[in-house]
Every structure is written in structure tokens, then in C-alpha cells.
Amino acid sequence: MTFYKWSQTPATNANVDSTVNYQEGQAPSSLNDSARAAMAALAKYRDDTAGAITTAGSSTAYTVASYQVFNSLSSLNGKVVAFTPHATNGATVTLNVDGLGAKPLRPAPNVELQTGVLVQGTPYAALYNSSDAAFYLLGVGTNPGLPLGSSIDYWGATAPSSHFVLAYGQAISRTTYSTLFSLFSTTYGSGDGSTTFNVPDLRGRVTAGKDDMGGSSSFRLTSELAPVV
């Protein structure tokens, strides 16, 4: 019951799958068994591409166990496997399907994933390309639009979704927002010192780039320019 072994050339499918017997002169009694085996193979393909498989491993080295159980990377070439990450990704990610070896997981050739592109609990699909030994995400662009840790002008009274937080200096969970915590650490406050950390406080403020960004100061923002409070 190995769907990936099936061929587009009908004649080669006579005995390519040992569980499906469609050879010339087959015994009538074997037909129903072969049909059921073919249904099972299709079901495995269905479930491999549905996105319900949850990854294991780490946030930068995902592992997946497929239902079809690919026996080689050459068999995996050109095939799609869908999965749901168990953790939001870190930077530069690999995917290992059926123990065949960790390969880069990318949105485009030679483009590594940024932190936070693959969100925990969200289904994704990837195709393996043997020519450059990498998996490519389907429908995920090279620019995720809003990198984790950035800010936007927003006029709502509450955050637009659970993927966002308003920036008013509050303490938030180091576990729930673990990837953001890995970026911010305790730069804006240590929260309760163990389970939470603080986000920036933008109440009544406008944003400005760090004055010594890149290693040298522009001297545009100095204490002499600070307003008297």
C-alpha cells in the first residue's frame, strides 16, 4: 500500500505494489483484496497531504512520520507532505521525513526561513526537490509581511488576534510567547522574573530607530534633545 510507487504508465503497475494485484489473468478472488488495498493507499496519501500530522523534534529541526513511509529520498522527490508544527519555528529550519535525513525547509531556493514564519498549530505543506536536496513550502512567500518583534500603527482597542499584543509595557507569558521572548529577553522588563517578560511601552510615544544602530551613533537622539518632564 505505497501510493508513491504507483506509475503514470499503466503497464508498469501490474506488480509495482505487492498489495495490489492487477496483473493479466489475475484470479477473480484477488480483485476485492486489491481494490481494498488501493483504497488504503489512497487514504494514506490523503492523510499525508491533509496537514494533520504533528511534527516532533525542535523548532529548527522538525521531524515528520508519514503514513506512506517513504523508503528513500528519491521516492520522496516531487512529493508533498503536509504537517502542523508542534512549535513555532526558529531561524534556519530543517525537515526530516521518515528518518531519511534532515533537509533544509525553505520558502524559496537559497532563502532560509525567518523566525516565527511557521506558527505552532497551523498546517503547512512542503514539496521535496532532490535536485538541491531541500523542501519548499507551498504558498509561503519569502517575505512573511510582518517579522516577529516588529510594530505597526494600529487603532483598535484590542489586539487584532492572539498572534499580536498591544505594546503598553505589560508582562506576558514567556511560554505562550516563547519565540518573542527569545528575541526580546528582558530588554523591556523581566516581568515576574521567571514566567513573564515585558513588552515595550508605547503609550503616548512615537517610535524611533536605535541611535547607534549598526555600531555608530548618529547623535540625532541625545539627552539634550529630550523633553523636560
Confidence of residue 32 (pLDDT cuts 50, 70, 90): confident
Structure pTM? 0.64
Q: Which of 26-35, 143-152, 200-209 has the lowest mean pLDDT?
A: 143-152
User: Which parts of the chain fold into alpha helices (H)?
Assistant: 29-48, 73-76, 178-184
| Mean pLDDT computed over every residue of the chain | 89
Taking only the tens place, the pLDDT of each residue in 44-87 is 999 999 999 999 999 999 999 999 999 999 999 999 999 999 99
Work out the percent of the chain whose per-residue pLDDT is above 70.
Answer: 94
Residue 192 pLDDT greater than 60, yes or no: yes
Q: What is the CA radius of gyration of the chain?
A: 25
How remote is the C-alpha of 170 from its chain's centroid?
A: 28
Amino acid at 62: Y
Query: Do strands 93-97 and 61-64 pair parallel, antiparallel, or not at all (unpaired)?
Result: parallel
- In the chain, CATH 3.90.1340.10 covers 146-208
> Which pLDDT does position 97 carry in this prediction?
99
Answer for the pair 161, 152: CB distance below 8 angstroms, yes or no: no
Burial state string for 84-122 with b = 16 or more CB within 10 A and e = fewer than 16: bbebbbbeebbbbbbebebbbbbbeeeeebbbbbbbbee
Query: What's the average model confidence in pLDDT over 133-156?
Result: 83
d(CA 129, CA 152) in angstroms, rounded, equals 36
Determine the topology of domain 146-208 in CATH.
3.90.1340
Confidence of residue 126 (pLDDT cuts 50, 70, 90): very high
Confidence of residue 16 (pLDDT cuts 50, 70, 90): confident
> Which pLDDT does position 227 carry in this prediction?
62
> Which pLDDT does position 58 carry in this prediction?
97
d(CA 68, CA 34) in angstroms, rounded, equals 17
120 or 148, greater pLDDT = 120
Confidence of residue 186 (pLDDT cuts 50, 70, 90): very high
Answer for the pair 93, 118: CB distance below 8 angstroms, yes or no: yes
**Strands annotated E in 3-150:** 56-57, 61-64, 80-83, 93-97, 103-106, 124-129, 134-137
Residue 146 pLDDT greater than 80, yes or no: no
